[in-house]
Structure 1
């Protein structure tokens, strides 16, 4: 990864505003686009091969399975499991069945566990042991589906946002977000709690980090020992985002163009990738896709603390304009948006499940 730039303020003044405070101007613009293009659910037609266009309530596993069929060499292998609607009390048997499913797919621990329906890093955990897998399964909602994905053992992570209008000869990368994971370094004197509270950034967001480390907050961290504060590459869960859009290269753009073109009717979305060296990614190689977000994806570079509020709003409004233009063009080509009934079902399902997912690492 390029070195983490820590000059200047650790946070932007709006970076952790509640959604009701940050998004109203963007939603007002989206409402105008709905009127202009005569379609409230046009975004669901942006990627016709994705369930609901990948706008809301989509299955991660369905989208990843599509990518595995068409670009298998670039996607981290995974399995999808569904917890029984009425689980038995035998937690060991359920864990054994999950391990057998992993082994049948040629996978093994460690894996990343995450809900099949969900966003913003909800319910993401790193599972290294059978005990951790059993605990995750028992904490997961009955009747809901989850994904177990082979861990990509590199810390480098980025969100690569791609956009191509139907009929356009060439798409392009419109946003790159470099994701850094916060650490504190022990000094042999202070507890983990104090290290977090004394950190210029983490100390302003203790609610994101303290609860993840409850069992060791009073432990004095040995001198020089790093402690990673968050695992999930989600801004709302504590990852540090930096704008890397200026780092795109022709080779990188060509590689993601080829991958995007290999996915049937994919026009708009973000590839979340992991890698050992971003220099390799710039050469169009050395990365693994861990998730693909469709019409509901966000240009997350806006959460770089150097991005101003007006610029963040402008970038999101531009993104929504492209999204509605693509949906409008696809509707003209014969692809229909998701029905209201299907959208409401997906929305309610995800909203009902999210509060019951296991805690995020």
Structure 2
């Protein structure tokens, strides 16, 4: 893949015109169908290791190892000085017990103390799949977001990383190993259309194979905006959250793995205490810089509940997808077993269930995402 530039964000569309698949046949299967073999594999591993929740030990300093119920702020707060210089600046806040102007006053004071200015990305402290994430460009917009947010609940305000490239890098380090390794790189392309001065946004979506295939996701979110006619040359980003189930295109980026990138990610991961298994989501300036382990900002660190998301590349076979899933979840069980043997306290199944229920309940209350 060539270095990313403003024009190359259309690379996915160009590739499709050359005959590549727009959507894999399993990409939008219901979750209970696609993950059924993964559940069977998990149960097999649980019987083998005599623990259903062993992966919750993979990152002992993170709630449930990052399977669910973890705090985004707490994870980033663990970062030492080496890791922190690669993380996009952020601040964690908690909404007041009662809605009112105090929320905005408190939030903007926290932003000022952290050196943040608009635009910022507002995101729930406990969430997944981009739920509740919104780009906030003005004080009024932040006030509306906070007013819609659950009471006495934590969230995060983070500086907007403006680099064009977006990627997810999966990292694994066996306990006691001198070095970790990158096992997956996913390049993420947000759904974008370019206006011709005549066509509505919905018509531009219909003219693109990939976007038309996920139009049910995009049009519902766009609402009346779908009828707007963008000016010639105007590029319209249809969603903000880089998630394949919300319309983004994911491409396998493992060809970008180099010794330099591996060394950089390893140094960052080792500066997060007891972090062994998870995915770094980041924005980057160019693929050449990323290969050198330079020019990127981490926007989120995910633990044991994260995926090696290159499996959602439309060109990935279902055999490769399951092979990848089994490899990573197998590694999570192996790491958990080693840490259990070293004395890390077990994480009970009921405790994990309660964490999942708490997260699910909160996600139902968050404002809609961009």
Deviates more, 1:233-242 or 1:294-303: 233-242
In 2, the alpha carbon distance for the partners of 1:244 and 1:230 equals 22
The verdict on how the C-alpha distance between 1:68 and 1:170 changes in structure 2, with shifts beyond 3 A counting, is: closer
Aligned to 2:47: 35
* Residue matched to 2:356: 347
Between 1:96-105 and 1:208-217, the stretch displaced more is: 208-217
In structure 2, list runs of 5 or more residues that go unmatched: none
Q: CA deviation at 1:97?
A: 2.0
In the other structure, the counterpart of 1:111 is 120
Matched, 1:194 2:203: yes
Residue number in structure 2 paired with 1:60: 72
Alpha-carbon offset, residue 268 of structure 1: 0.5
Structure 1 segments unaligned to the other structure (5+ residues):
none
User: What SS does the aligned partner of 2:78 have?
Assistant: helix
Contact residue 79 and residue 273 of structure 2 kept, 8 A: no
TM-score normalised per structure 1 = 0.95
Q: 1:243 to 1:165 in 2, by over 3 A?
A: same
SS in 2 for 1:232: coil
Corresponding residue number in structure 2 for 1:322: 331
Residue matched to 1:293:
302
Deviation at 1:335, TM superposition (A): 0.6
Instruction: Report the CA distance between 1:273 and its aligned residue.
Output: 1.1
Pairing 1:250–2:259 present: yes
Match of 2:61 among 37, 41, 49: 49
Give, in angstroms, the shift of residue 337 of structure 1. 2.7
Aligned to 1:181: 190
* The 10-residue stretch of structure 1 (40-49 or 185-194) with the greater mean CA deviation from structure 2: 185-194
State the SS of the aligned residue for 1:74: coil
**What are the equivalent positions in structure 2 for 1:61-100 lying under 5 Å apart?**
61-67=73-79, 71-85=83-97, 87-88=98-99, 90=100, 92-100=101-109
1:264-343 correspondence runs (5 A): 264-343=273-352
Summarize deviations over 1:185-224 as a string: whole Å, max 9, x none: 1111111122223321111212221133224222211122
Displacement after TM superposition at 1:70 (Å)? 5.6
List structure 1 segments (4+ residues) > 6 angstroms apart after TM superposition: none
CA drift at 1:230: 1.4
1:321 Cα offset (Å): 0.5
* 8 Å CA contact 1:43, 1:337 repeated in 2: no
Change (3 A) 1:342 1:70: farther
Question: Does 1:205 pair with 2:214?
Answer: yes
Alignment match, 1:123? 132
Residues in 1 aligned to 2:102 and 2:21: alpha-carbon distance in whole angstroms = 50
Q: 1:15 to 1:212 in 2, by over 3 A?
A: same
Q: Deviations over 1:154-201 (max 9, x none)?
A: 121111100011122221100000111111111111111222233211
Query: What is the DSSP-based 3-state SS (H/G/I as helix, E as strand, rest coil) of the residue aligned with 2:209?
Result: coil
Aligned-pair Cα RMSD in Å: 1.5
Shift of 1:244: 0.6
Q: Give, in whole Å, the separation in 2 of the partners of 1:346 and 1:332.
A: 24
Confirm or deny: 8 A CA contact 2:56 2:347 kept in the other structure: yes
TM-score by length of 2: 0.93
Aligned residues: 358
Report the secondary structure of 2:320's partner residue: helix
- Check if 1:240 corresponds to 2:216: no
**2-side partners of 1:37 and 1:148: how far apart?**
40
Structure 1 residues 304, 274: CA separation in 2 closer, same or farther (over 3 Å shift)?
same
CA distance in 1, matches of 2:254, 2:141: 37
Alpha-carbon separation, structure 1, partners of 2:190 and 2:149 = 25
In structure 2, distance between residues paired with 1:221 and 1:264: 48
- 1:318-353 deviations in Å (ceiling 9; x for gaps): 111000000000000111232334323211111111
Partner of 2:177: 168
Report the equivalent of 1:18: 30
**C-alpha displacement of 1:52:** 1.7
Secondary structure, in 3 states, of the residue corresponding to 2:103? Answer: helix
